[in-house]
Amino acid sequence: MTARRLTFADPGEAAGLAAFLERLLRWEKNAAVRIQAGGGVAGIFAKPARFEVLAVRTAQLLEPVELDTTVSAGELLEGVDEKRETVTVPSAVTGPPWAGLLPPRGGWQPRGELPPDAVRTVAAAAVAEFRERTEKLPPQERGRKALDALAEEIWSRPLGRTGLPLRAVHAAHALGFLRGKEPVTLLTAGSWLRLRTPYGSVVVRTNGSSGLTVTPV
């Protein structure tokens, strides 16, 4: 059936969704998210501003529903009821271009696991490098073009030999996905790479993912 309210099966899912949406809205007040629900699972897709990646949160539903819509992240946040573990889905909005090209729902193949502490260390080091190099730029050269070029240089670097760009790690860290001690899993599906944790995933599209290896970082 079609529903405008989702009821989560696991405690804490509503709070987790609210935290995810709040982080998205810090970068873009008018952010939109696409919701796909089916088979007892709901997926919330977003493209955090400036990161050039897709972020995904999935959750088991107490009642199976069929739903596919793009909505305002702010309005969706207003519909979260943490006590009842529900979220009321607002009216649809015109979706941004990225919402029309989502990663595949199935066919993901695990490529290995990465230690969370090491991944967090890499993310923190990259952020620190960006800040340090920005501060060293003369004020007259600290324009948007120069900062964008510096960001592109740093965040396009691969994570070790995984082929995953550091922008995906940065996004996962900024969205609060790199918490806890559980291993971070790298998966592939065709030209897509996915960094998955118990708190959410970050997905990027590459020129190809064959022959990837996972080594400590």
Q: Are residues 77 and 155 both part of a single domain?
A: no
The predicted structure's pLDDT at residue 206 = 82
Q: Give the pLDDT mean for 48-60.
A: 92
Confidence of residue 3 (pLDDT cuts 50, 70, 90): low
Q: Does one domain contain both 92 and 128? A: no
Identify whether 118 is part of a domain.
yes
Distance (Å, rounded) from C-alpha 24 to C-alpha 47? 8
What local confidence, expressed as pLDDT, does residue 64 receive? 87
Q: Do residues 121 and 72 both lie within one domain? A: no
Residue 207's pLDDT band, with cuts at 50, 70 and 90, is low
Judged on CB neighbours under 10 Å (0-12, 13-18, 19+), 98 is middle
Q: Is residue 13 part of a domain?
A: yes
Query: Residue 211: inside a domain, yes or no?
Result: no
**pLDDT reported for residue 182:** 85
Provide the mean pLDDT of the chain: 89
Closest CA to 93 of 114, 118, 66, 74: 74
If one counts the domains in the chain, the total is 2
Instruction: Assess whether 87 and 138 both reside in one domain.
Output: no
Confidence of residue 211 (pLDDT cuts 50, 70, 90): very low
> Is there a single domain that holds both residue 49 and residue 17?
yes
Indicate the range of 33-47, 80-94, 141-155, 189-203 predicted with least confidence: 141-155
Answer yes or no: is 212 within a domain.
no
pTM across the whole model: 0.87
> Tokens for 64?
């199976």
Same domain, 10 and 71: yes
Domain shared by 143 and 89, yes or no: no
Q: Is 171 found in the same domain as 135?
A: yes
Residues 82 and 116 placed together within one structural domain of the fold: no
Region 201-213: what's the mean pLDDT? 66
Q: pLDDT band at residue 40, thresholds of 50, 70 and 90?
A: very high
Range of the domain at 142: 109-205
pLDDT (0 to 100) of residue 180: 83
What's the average model confidence in pLDDT over 163-170?
Answer: 92
- List pLDDT tens digits, range 110-131: 999 998 899 999 989 999 999 9
Residue 76 has pLDDT above 80, yes or no: yes
State yes or no: pLDDT of 65 exceeds 50. Answer: yes
Q: Is the pLDDT of residue 167 over 60?
A: yes
* In a shared domain, residues 115 and 200: yes
Residues 11, 54, single domain; the answer is yes
Whether 30 shows a pLDDT value over 60: the answer reads: yes
User: In terms of domains, do 56 and 118 share one?
Assistant: no
Residue 170 lies in a domain: yes
Within a domain: 213? no
> What residue has token string 């193949």?
109
| pLDDT given for residue 210 in this prediction | 37
Q: How far is CA 110 from the centre of its chain?
A: 18
> Residue 210: inside a domain, yes or no?
no
In a domain, 216, yes or no: no
List the end-to-end C-alpha distance of the chain, in Å, as a whole number: 46
pLDDT at 1 over 60: no
